Structure 1
Amino acid sequence: MERVQGIALKYKEKIPEEFVRSKDEQPGITTVKGAVFEVPVIDLSNPDEEKILQSIVDASQKWGMFQVVEHRIPGEVISKLQEVGREFFELTEEEKEVYAKPLDDGTLEGYGTKLQKEVHGKKGWVDHLFHKIWPPSAVNYQFWPKKPSSYRETNEEYAKWVQGIGDKLLKWLSLGLGLEEDDVKEALGGENLVYLMKINYYPPCPQPEVALGVVAHTDMNIITILVPNDVQGLQAFRDGLWYDVNYIPNALVIHIGDQMEILSNGRYKSVLHRTRVNKEKTRMSWPVFLEPPADLQVGPHTKLVNKNNPAKYKTKKYSDYVYCKLNKIPQ
């Protein structure tokens, strides 16, 4: 299967038709010009933890996303993560194909291009690599690149730090629902919660105004903790319009995902977002998806449901939810 990175080298002026989005999706037409989405920015070093909590709850209810600064992940840990990811995508196609995603086993892990069923056979201008980074029992090293040689060590180091952020966010989100601080994490798998790394690689695109990297979607997991590179590309949907999300150096972008919306019985909202591509520069991002174990049943938390506030969502096994979402089957 030809990867987008290879296609980008061949098509210097016009992209193949399968990458041209319909008029109602083209970012050149549908993006609000001259305006950026001022996503809430939350300083995690604020000594007033109540203020952090309220800011996170507010952003999760009204926006479905926010950015965090002063998150304590050392700059060199993030720089190294970006460096080894970039080096992997600079390998030859043969070297990368060793990690290609198996076509038939339902796993997301591996190197690939296509992720979900696309409407009208259209494609996103992106290649990706998925692999689980935590817990150790879920890690499958066959999908971890052996080149560069520091790839494994770097990702294991990042896994330690990102768990710290994940635990804090889940605690605050739990307290924000009026629950005990561990209730949300326990309901979503506790220590078996899975951290799934994805690297998105968006090569330069000669017609960025008609293509999309990743099409409009909400994340199907619990929350997403994303490291971008410095090339603008993330867009969010608000009040019927698409906006560029402001890029903040050294910030982590946090998305509320579908499972958090379900568990909160709709109090928190998963954010509809997409990514655009750049004419001159390669854009990359490193989202980590916090997921329930595949066989866990997820529904509205029992403490949040009563006869005055009935369940608004079905309880469903996470693997079934994922299958329906990727294959565009109504939930």
Structure 2
Amino acid sequence: MEVERVQEIASLSNLKGTIPSEFIRLENEQPITTTVQGVALEVPVIDLSNPDHQSLVASVSEASKNWGIFQVVNHEIPSELISKLQKVGREFFELPQEEKEVIAKPIGYEGVEGYGTKLQKEVEGKKGWVDHLFHRVWPASIINYHFWPKNPPSYRDTNERYTQSMIPVADKLLGLLSRGLGLEDGEMKQGLGGEDLNYMLKINYYPPCPCPDLALGVAPHTDMSSITILVPNEVQGLQVFKDDHWYDVAYIPNALIIHIGDQIEILSNGKYKSVYHRTTVNKEKTRMSWPMFLEPPPEFEVGPIPNLINQDNPPKYKTKKFKDYVYCKLNKLPQ
């Protein structure tokens, strides 16, 4: 076993009403002292069925420049399919521990795919109150089914159908982001690897925590991806750093939450901003989320799009292979 699983610690902690010290954040990070209480941030909500294309481009562009996060409705992914995705993910995490460990990340394994707990170098030795499952879902050439649960039996079919429904949504979003910078529809996607763009699904499982005011599910971060398309369950937990404060994000039923990630910030030469966010946990309820990360292939080089660079707007970011960017980010090294 890689490390002790948070889900197991939670079942013991709930008996004692305490949590191990490595999960207690420093005071300047604790939700109780850093969250603006009683206010849910209403991030922009964008209707993807809006027939006024210019208005749609402007909405996405403005949200990506000023917020780095927005929610989309009327995205054409059936709500029943999203419910099924949530159901099979929840059923996997409710399996006996030894069955989940079958697809755990092997000891010494450098990749991110598989069932696990620790993801990156932990600051001050502090841990997040979360277990997770990662696996690539598209294109077919990069899928390793070893890391896909065999149980529940409908897991694979549901995830494959969800991915196929997601691809046109992602293409539309990347096209709108391109247009918002005065570029052609396909330029943003080409800057991320075109049809070789990698889709990576993650399931976050945040069990009930006896001391939610002291712990975090995931520490503050920006996503390494280009964009992240996230489905939460009904339990509040996503927080965004806005105007020097942490706020809960108000969820909209059946909406997808879109995070601008680091690669879009780089491609846009800083015009679009990757969103700084974290997650909190709940005392009574299990929170889960299903982010889909859209990433360039590991060997693909990402840098500011040449059409956006000129004498008055020099490049603000280095061009580098995505795998090198990931290595620096996970190991807290300068980019």
Unaligned runs of 5+ in 1: none
The counterpart of 2:67, out of the listed 45, 63, 67, is 63
Q: For 1:253-300, what per-residue CA distance to the aligned partner results, in whole angstroms no more than 9, with x for missing partners? A: 000000000000000000000000000000000000000000011110
The counterpart of 1:180, out of the listed 181, 184, 188, is 184
Identity in percent: 67
TM-score (norm 1): 0.99
The counterpart of 2:229, out of the listed 216, 219, 225, is 225
Q: Which residue does 1:157 correspond to in 2?
A: 161
Q: Which residue does 1:129 correspond to in 2?
A: 133
Q: For 1:193-245, what per-residue CA distance to the aligned partner results, in whole angstroms no more than 9, with x for missing partners? A: 00000000000000000000010000011000000000000000011100000
> Is 1:143 equivalent to 2:157 in the alignment?
no
Q: Which residue does 2:29 correspond to in 1?
A: 25
- After superposition, the Cα gap between the structure-2 partners of 1:103 and 1:259, relative to the gap in structure 1 and judged at 3 Å, is farther
CA distance in 2, matches of 1:142, 1:82: 20
CA distance in 2, matches of 1:6, 1:17: 16
CA distance in 2, matches of 1:92, 1:80: 21
DSSP-derived class of the 1:124 partner: coil
The counterpart of 2:7, out of the listed 2, 5, 8, is 5
> Is 1:259 equivalent to 2:263 in the alignment?
yes
1:102, CA displacement in angstroms? 2.6
The counterpart of 2:316, out of the listed 305, 312, 316, is 312
The counterpart of 2:249, out of the listed 240, 245, 249, is 245
1:171, CA displacement in angstroms? 0.4
TM-score (norm 2): 0.98
Q: Which residue does 1:43 correspond to in 2?
A: 47
CA distance in 1, matches of 2:289, 2:306: 35
DSSP-derived class of the 2:200 partner: strand
Mapping of residues 269-288 of structure 1, within 5 Å: 269-288=273-292
DSSP-derived class of the 1:131 partner: strand
CA distance in 2, matches of 1:78, 1:132: 18
Q: For 1:10-67, what per-residue CA distance to the aligned partner results, in whole angstroms no more than 9, with x for missing partners? A: 0120100000000010001100011111100001122212211110000000000000
CA distance in 1, matches of 2:107, 2:57: 42
Unaligned runs of 5+ in 2: none
CA distance in 1, matches of 2:107, 2:98: 17
CA distance in 1, matches of 2:334, 2:165: 36
CA distance in 2, matches of 1:8, 1:45: 42
The counterpart of 1:268, out of the listed 265, 272, 279, is 272
1:105, CA displacement in angstroms? 3.4
DSSP-derived class of the 2:29 partner: coil
Q: Which residue does 1:296 correspond to in 2?
A: 300
DSSP-derived class of the 1:11 partner: helix
DSSP-derived class of the 1:216 partner: strand
CA distance in 2, matches of 1:200, 1:105: 20
Amino acid in structure 2 at the alignment position of 1:78 = I
Across the aligned residues of Structure 1 and Structure 2, the Cα RMSD in angstroms comes to: 0.7
Runs of 4 or more above 4 Å deviation: none
